[in-house]
Amino acid sequence: MQFAPSLGQILAPVIDLVFPPRCPLCGEGIGAQTGLCAACWGELVIPGEPACSLCQRPLGEAVAAGAVCAPCLAQPPRHDGVAAGTLYNAASRRLVLAFKHGQRIALAPMMARLMTAKLATVEPDWLVVPVPLHRWRLWRRGFNQAALLAGEIAKARGARLAVDMLERRKATPTLGGLGAKARGRALAGAIAVNPKRRAALTGRKIVLVDDVLTSGATSEACVSALKRAGAERVVIACFARVMDEALPAG
């Protein structure tokens, strides 16, 4: 069966003529509006295997598939796995900043493709849920970057997007630099399941989506809220995972 081209496909040559495709990181000319130049692709670090099946921490070469690292065995996380498109380094940081603070929302499809590649087990019966923003931050920024990524992932996997499943009921400070106890206090009572959507969670499998996974405190609060409301399984998907020990030396 042949499908008619979309409006975007029809207009693509005109758009490329008026706005020649350029790499969003370095500005070099590229073949299409949907990616990076070869050099900048090479700067991204894609998480490899073998790795812990729960937290994605790199493991030694002689380990079986599905192995779990010592920290996760000692203190099992509430989530059911992490799927990171990239590791957080200078290149992925520039993309995140351009996307989130530079209003480059057209980066969402490309960033989501890297995340979707790590979500091969996600089926159409899963729910895709973004980490919520507080309404004041949403108003200032104009969009929730996690929701844009979640929408692309849901479309790619044929899953259902549940953009309002979670609510951030109080504004929280930036968590960077805070200790574990301080992060816990800042997030206490901040994130909850939308009462109107609670019934849809019972026994469901969830992809929880955010742009960057740093300490995991925010995502853990989201996972806890989802599982208390009846979710069976919650996998965290992020574009960039902060895990310095997994980055190549030098």
Q: Which helix (H) or strand (E) holds 217?
A: helix 217-228
Please report the pLDDT score of residue 16 as a whole number.
45
38 lies in the same domain as 128: no
39 lies in the same domain as 113: no
Please report the pLDDT score of residue 14 as a whole number.
41
31 lies in the same domain as 132: no
User: Which of 28, 43, 58 marks a domain boundary?
Assistant: 43
Please report the pLDDT score of residue 125 as a whole number.
95
Please report the pLDDT score of residue 7 as a whole number.
38
DSSP state of 200: G
Please report the pLDDT score of residue 65 as a whole number.
74
Q: Which helix (H) or strand (E) holds 129?
A: strand 127-130
Segments in the chain below pLDDT 50: 1-18
Please report the pLDDT score of residue 131 as a whole number.
95
Please report the pLDDT score of residue 3 as a whole number.
43
Whole-angstrom Cα distance, residue 204 to residue 69?
26
Burial 103-128 (b: 16+ CB within 10 A, else e): eeeebbbbbbebbbebbeebeeebbb
Please report the pLDDT score of residue 49 as a whole number.
81
168 lies in the same domain as 72: yes
**Mean pLDDT taken over the chain:** 84
Whole-angstrom Cα distance, residue 137 to residue 95?
20
CATH of the domain at 112: 3.40.50.2020
Please report the pLDDT score of residue 4 as a whole number.
47
Range of the domain at 8: 1-43
- For residues 220, 223, 224, 230, the Cα torsion angle rounded to the nearest 10 degrees is -170
Asked whether 236 and 208 are in contact (CB, 8 A), the reply is yes
78 lies in the same domain as 160: yes
Please report the pLDDT score of residue 159 as a whole number.
96
| Tally of domains in the chain | 2
114 lies in the same domain as 168: yes
107 lies in the same domain as 208: yes
Please report the pLDDT score of residue 165 as a whole number.
96
132 lies in the same domain as 14: no
Please report the pLDDT score of residue 193 as a whole number.
95
Supply 189's token pair.
Answer: 């009572």
10 lies in the same domain as 58: no
57 lies in the same domain as 168: yes
C-beta atoms surrounding 196 within 10 Å: 10
57 lies in the same domain as 29: no
33 lies in the same domain as 125: no
Please report the pLDDT score of residue 60 as a whole number.
72
